Structure 1
Amino acid sequence: MAFRTTAVALNNMKKWAYNLSGFNKYGLLRDDCLHETEDVTEALRRLPQHVVDERNFRMVRAMQLSLTKTILPKEEWTKYEEDQLYLTPIVEQVKKEREERENWEKIY
Protein backbone atom coordinates (compact mmCIF):
# COMPACT_ATOMS: atom_id res chain seq x y z
CA MET A 1 0.00 0.00 0.00
CA ALA A 2 2.82 2.38 0.84
CA PHE A 3 4.44 1.67 -2.52
CA ARG A 4 1.26 2.62 -4.37
CA THR A 5 0.93 5.83 -2.37
CA THR A 6 4.56 6.68 -3.06
CA ALA A 7 4.09 6.01 -6.79
CA VAL A 8 1.02 8.27 -6.91
CA ALA A 9 2.84 11.02 -5.04
CA LEU A 10 5.84 10.72 -7.35
CA ASN A 11 3.60 10.90 -10.42
CA ASN A 12 1.90 14.00 -9.01
CA MET A 13 5.30 15.60 -8.42
CA LYS A 14 6.30 14.83 -12.01
CA LYS A 15 3.13 16.48 -13.31
CA TRP A 16 3.72 19.48 -11.04
CA ALA A 17 7.31 19.88 -12.28
CA TYR A 18 6.18 19.40 -15.88
CA ASN A 19 3.61 22.18 -15.57
CA LEU A 20 6.05 24.40 -13.67
CA SER A 21 8.61 24.18 -16.50
CA GLY A 22 6.33 26.29 -18.71
CA PHE A 23 7.17 24.94 -22.17
CA ASN A 24 3.84 23.10 -22.30
CA LYS A 25 2.03 26.46 -22.18
CA TYR A 26 3.50 27.15 -25.62
CA GLY A 27 2.44 23.76 -27.01
CA LEU A 28 5.97 22.33 -26.97
CA LEU A 29 6.95 18.75 -26.19
CA ARG A 30 9.88 17.80 -23.95
CA ASP A 31 12.03 16.77 -26.91
CA ASP A 32 11.42 20.13 -28.60
CA CYS A 33 13.46 21.72 -25.79
CA LEU A 34 16.61 19.65 -26.24
CA HIS A 35 19.82 21.64 -26.68
CA GLU A 36 20.87 21.12 -30.30
CA THR A 37 24.19 19.34 -30.18
CA GLU A 38 25.72 17.38 -33.04
CA ASP A 39 23.96 14.27 -31.77
CA VAL A 40 20.56 15.98 -31.72
CA THR A 41 21.15 17.40 -35.20
CA GLU A 42 21.96 13.92 -36.51
CA ALA A 43 18.87 12.49 -34.79
CA LEU A 44 16.71 15.20 -36.40
CA ARG A 45 18.18 14.27 -39.78
CA ARG A 46 17.04 10.67 -39.22
CA LEU A 47 13.45 11.59 -38.34
CA PRO A 48 10.69 11.40 -40.97
CA GLN A 49 10.09 14.76 -42.63
CA HIS A 50 6.53 15.16 -41.31
CA VAL A 51 7.78 14.81 -37.70
CA VAL A 52 10.44 17.47 -38.34
CA ASP A 53 7.80 19.73 -39.89
CA GLU A 54 5.52 19.30 -36.85
CA ARG A 55 8.47 20.13 -34.56
CA ASN A 56 9.34 23.22 -36.60
CA PHE A 57 5.71 24.38 -36.45
CA ARG A 58 5.65 24.02 -32.67
CA MET A 59 8.94 25.89 -32.35
CA VAL A 60 7.86 28.78 -34.61
CA ARG A 61 4.50 29.04 -32.82
CA ALA A 62 6.27 29.09 -29.43
CA MET A 63 8.65 31.83 -30.61
CA GLN A 64 5.72 33.88 -31.92
CA LEU A 65 3.85 33.48 -28.64
CA SER A 66 6.97 34.43 -26.69
CA LEU A 67 7.49 37.56 -28.79
CA THR A 68 3.90 38.65 -28.22
CA LYS A 69 4.21 37.73 -24.52
CA THR A 70 1.16 35.46 -24.63
CA ILE A 71 0.52 31.77 -24.08
CA LEU A 72 -1.88 29.29 -25.63
CA PRO A 73 -5.36 28.82 -24.20
CA LYS A 74 -5.28 26.23 -21.40
CA GLU A 75 -7.08 23.57 -23.48
CA GLU A 76 -4.24 23.72 -26.06
CA TRP A 77 -1.41 23.24 -23.54
CA THR A 78 0.57 20.03 -23.89
CA LYS A 79 -0.55 17.65 -21.19
CA TYR A 80 1.89 15.46 -19.26
CA GLU A 81 0.06 12.30 -20.34
CA GLU A 82 0.15 13.32 -24.03
CA ASP A 83 3.82 14.28 -24.13
CA GLN A 84 5.86 11.67 -25.95
CA LEU A 85 9.59 11.30 -26.39
CA TYR A 86 9.92 11.18 -30.17
CA LEU A 87 13.56 12.28 -30.38
CA THR A 88 15.28 10.98 -27.22
CA PRO A 89 15.49 7.30 -28.33
CA ILE A 90 17.13 8.33 -31.60
CA VAL A 91 19.53 10.70 -29.80
CA GLU A 92 20.56 7.87 -27.47
CA GLN A 93 21.16 5.62 -30.48
CA VAL A 94 23.27 8.32 -32.17
CA LYS A 95 25.31 8.79 -28.96
CA LYS A 96 25.97 5.05 -28.72
CA GLU A 97 27.07 4.95 -32.37
CA ARG A 98 29.36 7.94 -31.86
CA GLU A 99 30.91 6.46 -28.72
CA GLU A 100 31.40 3.12 -30.47
CA ARG A 101 33.06 4.89 -33.41
CA GLU A 102 35.33 6.87 -31.06
CA ASN A 103 36.32 3.70 -29.20
CA TRP A 104 37.01 1.96 -32.51
CA GLU A 105 39.24 4.83 -33.64
CA LYS A 106 41.15 4.72 -30.34
CA ILE A 107 41.82 1.01 -30.64
CA TYR A 108 42.64 0.82 -34.35
Structure 2
Amino acid sequence: MAKSAPNSEAYTLLSFAVMSFPLSYLSPQFSQKDERIRMIREKAMFISSLAFLVYSFVLTSALGFNLIHLSAIEAINILIALMISTIFISMVFFARKY
Protein backbone atom coordinates (compact mmCIF):
# COMPACT_ATOMS: atom_id res chain seq x y z
CA MET A 1 0.00 0.00 0.00
CA ALA A 2 3.00 2.31 0.15
CA LYS A 3 2.95 3.02 -3.58
CA SER A 4 -0.79 2.97 -4.21
CA ALA A 5 -3.85 4.97 -3.29
CA PRO A 6 -5.87 3.96 -0.23
CA ASN A 7 -8.86 1.70 -0.55
CA SER A 8 -11.87 3.67 -1.83
CA GLU A 9 -13.89 2.95 1.32
CA ALA A 10 -11.20 4.73 3.34
CA TYR A 11 -12.30 8.03 1.85
CA THR A 12 -15.80 7.61 3.25
CA LEU A 13 -14.43 6.70 6.68
CA LEU A 14 -12.20 9.77 6.58
CA SER A 15 -15.18 11.95 5.70
CA PHE A 16 -17.07 10.54 8.72
CA ALA A 17 -14.11 11.55 10.88
CA VAL A 18 -14.25 15.03 9.36
CA MET A 19 -18.01 15.09 9.98
CA SER A 20 -17.63 14.43 13.71
CA PHE A 21 -15.73 17.67 14.36
CA PRO A 22 -18.31 20.05 12.82
CA LEU A 23 -21.11 18.14 14.54
CA SER A 24 -19.43 18.53 17.91
CA TYR A 25 -19.05 22.26 17.25
CA LEU A 26 -22.63 22.70 16.00
CA SER A 27 -24.53 20.44 18.40
CA PRO A 28 -25.27 23.16 21.03
CA GLN A 29 -26.53 25.45 18.28
CA PHE A 30 -28.65 22.80 16.55
CA SER A 31 -30.60 22.11 19.73
CA GLN A 32 -32.13 25.62 19.56
CA LYS A 33 -34.16 25.05 16.33
CA ASP A 34 -34.48 28.75 15.52
CA GLU A 35 -34.46 30.72 12.25
CA ARG A 36 -30.67 31.10 12.26
CA ILE A 37 -30.06 27.36 12.31
CA ARG A 38 -32.64 26.82 9.58
CA MET A 39 -30.91 29.43 7.42
CA ILE A 40 -27.51 27.83 8.06
CA ARG A 41 -28.83 24.42 6.98
CA GLU A 42 -30.46 25.84 3.86
CA LYS A 43 -27.37 27.73 2.76
CA ALA A 44 -25.10 24.78 3.46
CA MET A 45 -27.29 22.48 1.39
CA PHE A 46 -27.39 25.02 -1.45
CA ILE A 47 -23.60 25.39 -1.48
CA SER A 48 -23.22 21.62 -1.26
CA SER A 49 -25.47 21.08 -4.25
CA LEU A 50 -23.40 23.54 -6.28
CA ALA A 51 -20.23 21.85 -5.08
CA PHE A 52 -21.64 18.48 -6.15
CA LEU A 53 -22.14 19.83 -9.66
CA VAL A 54 -18.54 21.06 -9.73
CA TYR A 55 -17.19 17.79 -8.30
CA SER A 56 -19.18 15.77 -10.82
CA PHE A 57 -18.05 17.92 -13.73
CA VAL A 58 -14.38 17.72 -12.72
CA LEU A 59 -14.52 13.98 -12.10
CA THR A 60 -16.38 13.30 -15.35
CA SER A 61 -13.95 15.47 -17.30
CA ALA A 62 -10.93 13.81 -15.73
CA LEU A 63 -12.35 10.37 -16.51
CA GLY A 64 -13.34 11.42 -20.04
CA PHE A 65 -9.88 12.74 -20.90
CA ASN A 66 -8.21 9.68 -19.32
CA LEU A 67 -6.38 11.80 -16.75
CA ILE A 68 -7.36 9.38 -13.99
CA HIS A 69 -8.42 5.76 -14.07
CA LEU A 70 -11.12 4.84 -11.56
CA SER A 71 -13.81 2.22 -11.36
CA ALA A 72 -17.41 3.30 -10.88
CA ILE A 73 -17.47 2.35 -7.19
CA GLU A 74 -14.28 4.31 -6.53
CA ALA A 75 -15.71 7.40 -8.22
CA ILE A 76 -18.95 7.10 -6.23
CA ASN A 77 -17.05 6.67 -2.95
CA ILE A 78 -14.96 9.76 -3.70
CA LEU A 79 -18.10 11.79 -4.50
CA ILE A 80 -19.80 10.61 -1.30
CA ALA A 81 -16.78 11.54 0.80
CA LEU A 82 -16.54 14.98 -0.80
CA MET A 83 -20.24 15.67 -0.26
CA ILE A 84 -20.24 14.63 3.40
CA SER A 85 -17.23 16.82 4.08
CA THR A 86 -18.60 19.76 2.10
CA ILE A 87 -21.98 19.79 3.82
CA PHE A 88 -20.67 19.84 7.36
CA ILE A 89 -17.71 22.14 6.79
CA SER A 90 -19.98 24.65 5.06
CA MET A 91 -22.35 24.49 8.04
CA VAL A 92 -19.48 25.48 10.31
CA PHE A 93 -18.52 28.28 7.93
CA PHE A 94 -22.06 29.68 7.90
CA ALA A 95 -22.45 29.27 11.66
CA ARG A 96 -19.32 31.35 12.18
CA LYS A 97 -20.46 33.92 9.62
CA TYR A 98 -24.03 34.40 10.89
Q: Normalising by structure 1, what TM-score?
A: 0.28
Structure exhibiting the larger radius of gyration computed from Cα positions:
1
Structure whose residues are more often helix by fraction: 2
